[in-house]
Amino acid sequence: MEVGIDVAFCRALLASTHRDVRAAGITSPMKAAWVWHFQRDHWEFHGPDGFYWHGSAGNAYDARCKGWAAYLEHTRKE
C-alpha cells in the first residue's frame, strides 16, 4: 500500500505530538482520544475530560495532531 507524502508527514508529526502529550501526563494518547471525519476536510477530535476540537484537516493523522495541540493549549491556560 502506497502512503502519500502528506499522510507520511502527518504521521511523523503526530509521533512528535504524542511525546508532548505523554509529557503532559497522558500515558496512552491513542486510547485517550478519537477522531471523526464529518464531511470533506472537516474533522472532530474527542479527547480526555470531554475536550472537543473541530476544524479542517487533511487526514485522520492531521486531525489527531491538531486536536492534541488544541488540547495541550487548552490545558496550559487552565
Q: What is the mean pLDDT of residues 24-42?
A: 94
> How many angstroms separate the CA atoms of 41 and 2, rounded?
21
Query: Confidence class of residue 15 from pLDDT cuts 50, 70 and 90?
Result: very high
The amino acid occupying position 21 is V
Q: Which amino acid is at 32?
A: A
Q: Which range marks the domain in which residue 21 is found?
A: 5-77
* Nearest-angstrom CA–CA distance, 13 and 28: 17
Q: Are 33 and 47 in contact (CB under 8 A)?
A: yes
Q: What is the pTM assigned to this prediction?
A: 0.91
pLDDT in tens, 35-65: 999 888 999 999 999 999 999 999 999 999 9
pLDDT at residue 78, rounded to an integer = 67
User: In the numeric block, which cell numbers belong to residue 74?
Assistant: 487548552
**Higher pLDDT residue, 12 or 39?**
12
Structural domain tally of the chain?
1
Grid coordinates belonging to 54: 473541530
**Residues 6+ away with beta carbon under 8 Å from 52:** 44, 45, 46
Q: What pLDDT score does 10 carry?
A: 96
